[in-house]
Amino acid sequence: MYNEYMRGVSAVSSLFTDIGHSFVEWLLGFKFVRYLVGRALKSGTSGPTEKGPPVVMEDVAIADVENSTSLEPRGHATLRYPNGPYDLTGLILAQGAASILHSAQGREKNGCLTTALIAADLIRRLKGAGVAIESDILHA
């Protein structure tokens, strides 16, 4: 019952861990044990509120150059969404999938998609769904 994230310190420890996992699975086969575990664990929440707080994210990117001076160009980006983080997460996932699935560029490149190929389409879709995205270059 190991997965790629588990690691055994020794053979004996690994054996006991494997036996322990099997024993817990066997115990959970009994309805009464599941009832006790259900009472001991907290129940899940009802989920997020219908409308969460507005999302505002800002970031500044500095160009990475070998001969560094204090005059490297800096990019500033702001993302604003009025309906909360849960809605924004779902929106980005859905629009990202739509950008990948409906991208003509992906078909032209034999299915090889990179972020650069779908970024413009994704930003256009997000802006159309009510996300305000602004970016500019800051000069030193």
What is the pLDDT, as a whole number, of residue 105? 61
Residue 63 DSSP code: -
Determine the residue type at 138: L
Give the total number of structural domains in the chain.
2
What is the pLDDT, as a whole number, of residue 24? 93
C-alpha 138/C-alpha 18 separation (Å) is 57
Q: pLDDT > 90: what percent of the chain?
A: 36
Domain-located, residue 50: no
Domain-located, residue 94: yes
Average pLDDT over residues 61-73: 73
- Prediction pTM value: 0.57
Domain that holds residue 86: 55-138
Q: Which of 4, 3, 1, 6 is nearest to 21 (CA)?
A: 1
Summarize pLDDT for 71-95 with one digit per residue, the tens.
Answer: 777 889 999 999 888 899 999 999 9
Q: Please indicate, yes or no, whether residues 68 and 115 belong to a single structural domain of this protein.
A: yes
Q: Please indicate, yes or no, whether residues 74 and 24 belong to a single structural domain of this protein.
A: no
**Mean pLDDT over each residue of the chain, to the nearest integer:** 83
Q: Please indicate, yes or no, whether residues 34 and 60 belong to a single structural domain of this protein.
A: no
